[in-house]
Amino acid sequence: MPIAALLLISGAATALVGLIALLGPGRVFQLAFAIKAADDAILFLVRHWGVLLFVVGALIGWSAQAPVARAPILAAASFEKFAAVLMLFLVPVKPTRLLVATLAADGLLAIFYVAIIAGLGGA
């Protein structure tokens, strides 16, 4: 499968997760941490996180068709995904299996994006 197609798919998946968090922040919080989010501030932060994920996903998808912008977009996306994985180990939370699976996928995507960037350097 061509890199552009993989970027479109992974970008769409990231954007979809962001959209879901934006539209259903309480449910996302409950699925990720097994905690009911009744606090408006928490719901605001989950919605904001959803907007940011949506934008990152849209940019990843756009980078599939804009090779000149690919390296900086994938660098930013890799940073976001590596940071999320790192927080799993540094922040004292009890994640659900869904959150662990999501962050495992994010870690693999970040490695994939770094590999693409490394390949662009030699071109």
What pLDDT score does 122 carry? 44
Euclidean distance between CA atoms 91 and 112, whole angstroms: 25
Kindly report, residue by residue over 83-108, the tens digit of the pLDDT: 999 998 898 888 899 999 999 999 99
pLDDT tens-place string over residues 3-49: 999 999 999 999 999 999 999 999 988 888 888 767 888 899 999 99
What is the average pLDDT across 58-70? 95
Residues in the chain: 123
Global pTM value: 0.88
Distance CA(3)–CA(11), nearest Å, equals 12
Which residue range forms the structural domain that includes residue 22? 3-121
Maximum C-alpha span of the chain: 51
pLDDT score recorded for residue 63: 96
Least Cα distance to 46 among 27, 66, 65, 22 occurs for: 22
pLDDT, position 123: 44
Confidence class of residue 121 from pLDDT cuts 50, 70 and 90? low
For the beta carbon of residue 50, count every other beta carbon within 10 angstroms.
21
Sign of the alpha-carbon torsion through 94, 99, 100, 104: negative
Where are the alpha helices (H) located in the chain, listed in sequence order? Answer: 3-23, 25-33, 40-63, 67-90, 97-121
**Structural domain total, the chain:** 1
